[in-house]
Amino acid sequence: MSIALTTHKAAAAAVGVAMVFSFAFVTPAQAQTVEELTAQINSLLATIASLQAQLAGMTGGATTGGTYNFTLNHKMGDQGGEVMDIQKFLNANGFPVASSGAGSPGNETSYFGSRTKAAVMAWQNANAAQVLAPVGLSAGTGYWGPSSRAYANSMGGGTTGGTTVPTGTGLVVAAAAQPANSLAPYNATLVPFTKFTVTNNSGTAQTVNSVTVERAGLAANTNFTGVVLLDESGQQLGIARVLNSNNQANVGEAVTIQPGQTRTFTVAANMEAAATVSAGQIAAFSVIAINTSATVSGSLPITGASHTVNATLAIGTATVARGPLDPGADKTKEVGTTGYTFSSLKVTAGSAEQIRVRSIRWNQSGSAASSDLSNVVVVVDGTEYPTTVSADGKYYTAVFGSGIVIAKGNTKEISIKGNIVGGSSRTVTFDIWEETDIYITGETYGYGIKADDGDTTTGSETEGTYNDEITPAYPAYDVTISAGTVNAFSKSNKVAAGNVAEQVNDTNLGAFELSLTGEGITVTTVKFAIDTTEASGSAVDADDVTLLTLVDQNGTVLAGPVDGSATNYTPTSGTASEGSVSFSAVDFPAGVTTIYVKGKLGSDFDSSDTITIRANPADWTGAKGVTTGNTVSLPSGEVSANVQTVQAASLTVTTLLSPPAQNVVKGATDHIWFKGNLDAANSGEDVRVTALGVKDTTSSGAVPADIDSFEIWANLSGGSTNDSVRGDIYETLIASGDNFSTTTVGGDETLSITLDTVLTIARNTAVEIAGIGDLAGGATGTAGTDTHTLDIDSVTATGANTGSSISITPSGSGQAQTLQTSGTLTISVDSSSPSAALLLDDGTEQTVGVFRLAANNVEDLDVDSIKITDDGDETQGSDDVVSSYVFYNGATKLGQVANSNGTAEIFLNDGTLTVPRNGNVLITVKAVMNDVDGTSVVNGDAVEVTIAAAGDVDTTGKASGVAVDSTGTAYDAATHTVYEAYPTVAFDNSGISTTLVGNANHLLAKIKLTNVGNKDVTFQSGDSNLFSIQVTVVGDDTDTGNEVITLKDYDGTTLDTATINSASGTSQLDFNMSSVGAAVGATIPAGQSRTWTIVGDTTDLEDNGDTIQIWLDDVAADVTFGIDGSGAYTEGDFILKGDVYGPAHVNPS
């Protein structure tokens, strides 16, 4: 290490310091308080720091006139760094720090105080567009940050030059902006004292091994548990060091600084407990040496902030313990293990303040190298944070961005996980070395907080137990890395027992599954037994099996091709076989591999011969881990694949019973005449079909030539989705355009069809086909009598690999298709059509009828038009109640038609609405009413829609093209009544007590009447309006007196009264509102509700079980209402439909 200092600069520093001390101690001889001494010391230290900063600024080459190169951020309270240059820049550019004295032009200082901040703010505001706007600010802050520095540098500075980094062959050390003087509370960690920079001015990378620091100030070393070095991101470099008897310590670890790079470091300290620190003492730390092999220039020592030791400020706490995700025991894991959680801790915030976890540093103390691990991340709340690895490969650090805040009393779990990619027989152990490796700060005071175990007991090192009094603070459980493991070798049913053919390459002869954990393996020799049986014919042996390969589930060839050996082979603990096959140097990856054994059977194999592949991995040789190279043990035990039976190519052909016997209309297109099944379930190989014969058997009056454009379609997708162009499952055309030609009436014909596309049917599968064609519009034959019956008569097919012909005798018969001229349409009122109801003249669409249109089983019907008629009774004798009718099919609106003298007819484009063959559609008719005007339309007018006459619904047969119209008459929907307004009625049971007590005014019921219209609903005696209720009593009152029942308005006004006898029975009470006058009554305003109450005298219902209940009977006259004070409309049968019951009141005594 070398410190190169210019002599006159050192002398200047010495003179400056001497002057400071001489001035400081020329004071009157009198007693001074501790506070006064502390203040003087702080002032002296600040002045020394300022002088040192000035000296640092003087070192190096000459300034460049007119420019600055600001590189440091500064804020109020900073000392040193580039503060003096900031003041010079401001003074030179019209924003003076002060008009005279410290900070004024020519008297700039290295202290960033309130006047400097004010000048910075003024300059920022004056250059807001360049400085503030880019960072989203509108007013200056006084913080000298990146945006301010960038614009100042672009301006070219003021009249004085800024300092430049000297060039040379080594490192330059300089003071940085120092932390402000403050407190150093007990138990605080990483308290920052001194900041400095190291710049590499050489052309090669340089390494700083450590930094020597010395405690300064009037303080004892016992205040500190250790001193550390931090990098510019706040991360600790190396471990904490204890001060020696010379008040010194070497801190940090080897750090490489690249050419031209400047690194900023901070000397920080960890504080002792309250019982140990000496409160009131003032400490500082000086950097006195940079330990490196490079030449060092600059000004040392560098001393930073002076902090006062404090034993009373209770900063936050963080308690650490083993987390739930921690393995909890030593484990063994194979190479190839992924996402394994090595270690986990939970951190709990104390009650003093919220805490922020900023980073964590794990010490991998096991023998595994960093190259043995990959994708090592730290996980918090499911978020993965990447780690950086120290130069020695032992420390894994994760920084949590702006930090993870933990509220008082809450807990967060922090775990570390990764992949094991190597290192067999080595160990992985992710410890926490010391308490400050978890970097935690308090949210209130901002000090570092140590990760504590919650007690002061030293204890001993125990795996899985956090103990901050020792190192490692958390000794984690070990993971021992093992080589790959073979978990299982078993038969795979991916090749099921089945049929195979001879002379076919790559025939599946059997399959196995091999399960490996950790790493793949390579095997020198992999051997399989080949066992054959002879049903007849030539003798067969393993040498009749050639071109054998091993193929995985992805189609990758693992080994081969090789030929079988006829030498008898008996697998260990297995069954003797007629031969074997061996493969060399086979690699199997980690995971589960399906091993297909494929080969070619020679011509010596005959029908019904069998072949079985067997293996015992214990007979395989030279198995080693691909990654580790370690020998791998293979499982022992013979495993047999499924037996394969040699069969010739075969195909079973069947004409199906679907489609069933049914009608076909003359002129039909794309009619399915037959369906067939082609099944290669018992074939030894795939089957190729090139042609087939289709026979049409006709009745005595039909002609085969009437079927034309006959095609064969196949369901090659094998699914049940109707994905063809016609809407059925037969999506692939394999033969097109053939026509039957026989014109003999009652004759039969077999049509020979050569497939346009050869149909290949894989062995052990089947394909369904259909014969589809048109029927001539003028087809010969009597409708309803004559038929065509089609089925498969012959099939031409060969083995797909061998080319051998297949003898096929089709089975099954087609179903008769009966000729028809056209379909039939049937009309009815659907059960979903609404019953009679009350309608409003409110301009909305209101359903008045639902009609069902049904077709028989001959053809689809295309609906051309629908006509409806209004048969309702209108008081004024006109058909003007309805303004327009709207037609729907389900939710689909077909159209809207204006009412024309009581009728409306909608016309539909072709294809808009189809009644399916043997199905139906529903037509919903909605009406939009005209306003009730009292002239053309009056309250009480009726609407009854009907399909009145034959031909009111017109359709066209989609197959026949023939007009198919409705033939019935008078399909009448329900009759509905139109009003401007009407009430709905419901009991409101809120606030009702059903316990019956003797009371002259017992609340029996509340009835809510809601006006759904746009005019007032009125009840008044002058209009003969009426609201009737039923009163049912269960009691044994024998006196002759009557009890009064009262109906009241919502505001308590009595509307009417009536009387009942308390003996058992039901009485009807008619309220005509006479208690309020003939023309007053009760009004329910348009769109509003009113609640009426019914009270009664229940004093005679004093016995146990006596009961009284109010209910409403659905009799028309029981609700007779007026509209806007006029009329008497009796609609109780609609309004009270089904009867409406109020609560039953029971005497419990």
The answer to whether residue 9 scores a pLDDT higher than 70 is no
Q: Is residue 162 part of a domain?
A: no
* Mean pLDDT, residues 254-278: 93
What pLDDT is stored for residue 156 in this prediction?
64
pLDDT of residue 718: 86
Residue 23 lies in a domain: no
Boundary (domain end) residue, out of 155, 187, 215: 155
Whether pLDDT at 56 is above 70:
no
The secondary structure of 895-938, three-state, reads EEEECECCEEEEECCCCCCEECCCCEEEEEEEEEECCCCCCCCC
Mean pLDDT computed over 997-1011: 93
3-class DSSP assignment, residue 615? strand
User: Are 1012 and 1122 within one domain?
Assistant: yes
Angle value at C-alpha 885, between 879 and 890, nearest 5 degrees = 150
Same-domain status, 837 and 928: yes
Q: Is 1074 inside a domain boundary?
A: yes
Lowest mean pLDDT segment, chosen from 87-96, 752-761, 809-818: 87-96
| Count of domains observed in the chain | 7
Cα–Cα distance measured from residue 865 to residue 884, given in angstroms and rounded to the nearest whole number: 16
* pLDDT tier at 874, thresholds 50, 70, 90: low
Query: Cβ contacts of residue 1050 below 8 Å, gap of 6+?
Result: 1090, 1091, 1092
Same domain, 338 and 224: no
Is 676 found in the same domain as 606?
no
Is 258 within 8 Å of 215 (Cβ atoms)? Answer: no
Which is more confidently placed, 1038 or 727?
727
In a domain, residue 7? The reply is no
Span 392-432, pLDDT tens digits:
889 999 999 889 999 999 999 999 999 988 877 789 999 99
Handedness of CA 168, 169, 175, 177 (dihedral sign): positive
pLDDT of residue 168: 55
One domain, residues 437 and 498: no
The answer to whether residue 475 scores a pLDDT higher than 60 is yes
pLDDT at res. 2: 36
> In the chain, count of helices (H) and strands (E)?
7, 80
Indicate if the pLDDT at residue 620 is higher than 90: yes
For 79, the 3-state DSSP assignment is strand
Q: Is the peptide bond before 301 cis (omega within 30 degrees of 0)?
A: yes
Mark whether 658 and 789 lie in a shared domain: yes
Mean pLDDT within 698-702: 94
pLDDT at 1040: 64
Is the per-residue pLDDT at 67 higher than 70?
no
Q: Is the pLDDT of residue 833 over 70?
A: yes
Assess whether the previous peptide bond of 179 is cis (omega < 30° from 0): no
Rounded CA-CA distance 926/846 in Å is 5
Over residues 707-729, mean pLDDT: 90
pLDDT higher than threshold 90 for residue 782: yes
Supply the pLDDT for residue 674. Answer: 97
Q: Mean per-residue pLDDT for 56-68?
A: 41
Q: Would 579 be classed as within a structural domain?
A: yes
Task: Give yes or no: residues 401 and 524 share one domain.
Answer: no
Asked if the structure places residue 35 within a domain, the reply is no
Task: Locate 827 and state its tokens.
Answer: 């009309």
- Per mean pLDDT, which range of 437-446, 480-489, 549-558 is the poorest? 480-489
pLDDT at 656 > cutoff 50: yes
Say yes or no: 454 and 530 in one domain.
Answer: no
Q: Which among 493, 799, 508 is positioned nearest to 645, based on CA atoms?
A: 508
Name the least confident of 134-143, 774-783, 806-815, 1122-1131: 134-143
Question: Is there a single domain that holds both residue 635 and residue 692?
Answer: no
Q: Inter-axis angle of helices 34-58 and 83-92, to 10 degrees? A: 70
| Least confident range of 100-109, 759-768, 854-863, 1119-1128 | 100-109
Residue 1093 pLDDT exceeds 60: yes
The mean pLDDT value for 760-767 works out to 92
In a domain, 835, yes or no: yes
What pLDDT digit, counting tens, does each position of 581-615 carry?
999 999 999 889 999 999 999 888 888 889 999 99
Average pLDDT over residues 255-283: 94
pLDDT at 14: 35
On whether residue 13 sits in a domain, the answer given is no
CATH number assigned to the domain comprising residue 802: 2.60.40
- For 658, the 3-state DSSP assignment is coil
Going through 168-261 in order, the beta strands assigned E by DSSP cover 171-175, 183-185, 188-189, 191-200, 206-216, 224-230, 236-241, 248-251, 255-257
Task: For residue 619, report the phi and psi dihedrals to the nearest 5 degrees.
Answer: -85, -10
Residue where the block lists tokens 């050569």: 754
- Residue 13's contacts (CB-CB under 8 Å, 6 or more residues apart) are 51, 52, 55, 299
For residue 924, what pLDDT is reported?
98
Q: Which two tokens stand for residue 875?
A: 């008081």
Domain of 460? 318-482
Does this model's pTM top 0.85?
A: no
pLDDT band at 1064 (very low <50, low <70, confident <90, very high): confident
Q: Cis omega (within 30 of 0) on the bond before 1148?
A: no
* Highest-pLDDT range among 723-732, 865-874, 881-890, 1038-1047: 881-890
The pLDDT of residue 1038: 64
Looking at the structure, tell me whether residues 516 and 424 fall in a common domain.
no
Same domain assignment for residues 132 and 177: no
Confidence of residue 574 (pLDDT cuts 50, 70, 90): confident
**Domain end: 623, 646, 669, which one?**
646
More confident residue, 777 or 346: 346
Written as one string, the DSSP assignment of 337-397 is: --SEEEEEEEEEE-SS--EEEEEEEEEE-SS--GGGEEEEEEEETTEEEE-EE-TTS-EEE
Confidence check: pLDDT of 161 > 60: no
Cα of first residue to Cα of last residue in the chain, in angstroms, is 107
Tell me: do 634 and 524 sit in the same domain. yes
**CATH code, 252:** 2.60.40.2030
Distance (Å, rounded) from C-alpha 451 to C-alpha 456? 13
Query: Is residue 126 classed as helix, strand or coil in its secondary structure?
Result: helix
Single out the residue in 251, 286, 310 at which a domain terminates: 310
**pLDDT tens, residue by residue, 444-474:** 999 999 999 888 888 788 999 999 889 999 9
**pLDDT, mean over the chain:** 88
Q: How confident is the model at residue 530 (pLDDT cuts 50, 70, 90)?
A: very high
